[in-house]
Amino acid sequence: MSSNHPEAVLDDRFLPALKKVPYPGFDSDIVTMGLVEDARLVGQKAVIKLRPLAAPPEVLEQLENSIAAAFTGMPGVEELEIIQPEPPKPQKAPVPHAIEGVAAVVPVASGKGGVGKSTVAVNLALGLAGLGLKVGLLDLDLYGPSIPLMLGLVDAQPEATAEKLMPITAHGLKTMSIGFMVDPGKALIWRGPIIMKAVKQLLHDVAWAPLDVLILDLPPGTGDVQITMTQEVPITGAVVVTTPQDVALVDAIKAVDMFRATNAPVLGIVENMSYFICDGCEKRHEIFGHGSVEPLARRLGVDYLGELPLDAKVRASMDAGQPIVEQTAPSAQAYRELAARVWERVNKLLPGAEVK
């Protein structure tokens, strides 16, 4: 017997098969995610017990089917039993529960790295604050936090009370990042249970209240941080960022599927680095093959939230800790419009919410 999870009891013979089973919509397998509680051979029957999961029935069924497929034809196994316990009551289990005093939670996600999630998250948060809303920005990219740099807060150090960690207030936002507390280079080696604990604490143990909306800047892909987020907090609606390149579009589909697999609404897809307007000629250059994202959104049945230009000023402003949306540059308007579109959709999903 061996174990990949502190409390799991997993028969070695089953590990290769179980490690081939991804959680529906995610990249990680169910063993790595710590979702298998017990796997053993009883006579000729493989008995697999999963951890209680807060997931829609069709996702649980898909998971059962994938496990069954992975065990088909395994020598010495004539029968398979999959035990899926009901999720325990809220006080006992990490089932999603609202962050006290926070009306809406909006993650900014992408399947692919470097498409501009953090840039969008920061400027979206500031754009929403510009609408008069109380806004928080949580950097959940524990592997490579970029919010401290983008907000010009690399030396900020949050204070803690006995109960809560105090967010840093800057640019009219409340913000928190693991980058305020640890050397970003060290954060890269975090894995599994530590990531899960950190995500939980950043969501629930920071003094966010009162907020109209909390924006979450996610790492790329569909891994530990994303699944913990969906298990810890109800998501109002996600914003998926992509560039118009084909490879990024495949990843955008993955990101949309991930939210669907956990019943979280998707507010829409935003197309970053969509076109380039050069300083000299003022012509619009569509370098990545503009026009592919809107049809994709339609096909996926999610809203198209618009396009953001590729602009050297965007990069320079973010590197300088002076986000573009605070500048007078023409690109700033695209981010303000994005914020207005996002808030309009959040309003529809939140009974009682109104633009202030």
Judged by the rule CB under 6 A, the positions of this chain that interact with ligand ATP are 110, 113-119, 141, 144, 146, 219-220, 272-273, 308, 310-311, 314-315, 318
With CB atoms as reference, the residue minimizing the distance to Mg ion is 118
Among 110, 118, 262, 274, binds Mg ion (CB under 5 A): 118
Nearer to ligand ATP, 53 or 216 (CB): 216
Among 117, 174, 341, 345, binds Mg ion (CB under 5 A): 117
Q: Minimum CB separation from ligand ATP for residue 70, in Å?
A: 31
Binding at 272: pick from ligand ATP, Mg ion, none (beta carbon under 5-8 Å per type): ligand ATP
Q: Minimum CB separation from ligand ATP for residue 295, in Å?
A: 21
Asked whether position 110 contacts Mg ion by CB under 5 A, the answer is no
Nearer to Mg ion, 117 or 254 (CB): 117
Nearer to ligand ATP, 318 or 342 (CB): 318
Nearer to Mg ion, 117 or 171 (CB): 117
Beta strand pairing call for 173-177 and 168-170: antiparallel
Binding at 110: pick from Mg ion, ligand ATP, none (beta carbon under 5-8 Å per type): ligand ATP
Burial letters 277-315, b for 16+ CB under 10 A, else e = eeeeeeeeeeebebebbbebbeebebbbbbbbbbbeebe
Binding at 273: pick from ligand ATP, Mg ion, none (beta carbon under 5-8 Å per type): ligand ATP
Three-state secondary structure of 85-133: CCCCCCCCCCCCCCCCCEEEEEEEECCCCCCCHHHHHHHHHHHHHHCCC
Q: Minimum CB separation from Mg ion for residue 180, in Å?
A: 16
Interaction residues for Mg ion, span 127-186 (CB under 5 A):
141, 146
Nearer to ligand ATP, 14 or 143 (CB): 143
Nearer to ligand ATP, 130 or 145 (CB): 145
Q: How far apart are CA 317 and CA 239, in angstroms?
A: 22
Helix axes 330-349, 117-130, angle to 10 degrees: 80
Nearer to ligand ATP, 116 or 167 (CB): 116
Binding at 311: pick from Mg ion, ligand ATP, none (beta carbon under 5-8 Å per type): ligand ATP
- Say if CB 203 and CB 138 are below 8 A apart: yes
Q: Minimum CB separation from ligand ATP for residue 349, in Å?
A: 24
Q: Which residues partner with 160 through β-bridges?
A: 165
Q: Minimum CB separation from Mg ion for residue 197, in Å?
A: 21
Binding at 174: pick from ligand ATP, Mg ion, none (beta carbon under 5-8 Å per type): none
Q: Minimum CB separation from ligand ATP for residue 308, in Å?
A: 5
Q: Minimum CB separation from Mg ion for residue 119, in Å?
A: 8
- Say if CB 123 and CB 321 are below 8 A apart: no
Q: Would you call 134 exposed, middle or buried from its count of C-beta atoms within 10 A (0-12, 13-18, 19+)?
A: buried
Q: Minimum CB separation from ligand ATP for residue 96, in Å?
A: 24
Q: How far apart are CA 224 and CA 212, in angstroms?
A: 26
Task: Give me the sign of the Cα torsion angle 96, 99, 105, 111.
Answer: negative
Asked whether position 112 contacts Mg ion by CB under 5 A, the answer is no
Ordered strands of the 9-10 beta sheet: 9-10, 36-42, 45-50, 79-83
Helix (H, G, I), strand (E, B) or coil at 220: coil
Distances (CA, A) of 327 to 4, 216, 270, 317: 49, 23, 21, 8
Q: How far apart are CA 206 and CA 47, in angstroms?
A: 40
Nearer to ligand ATP, 18 or 310 (CB): 310
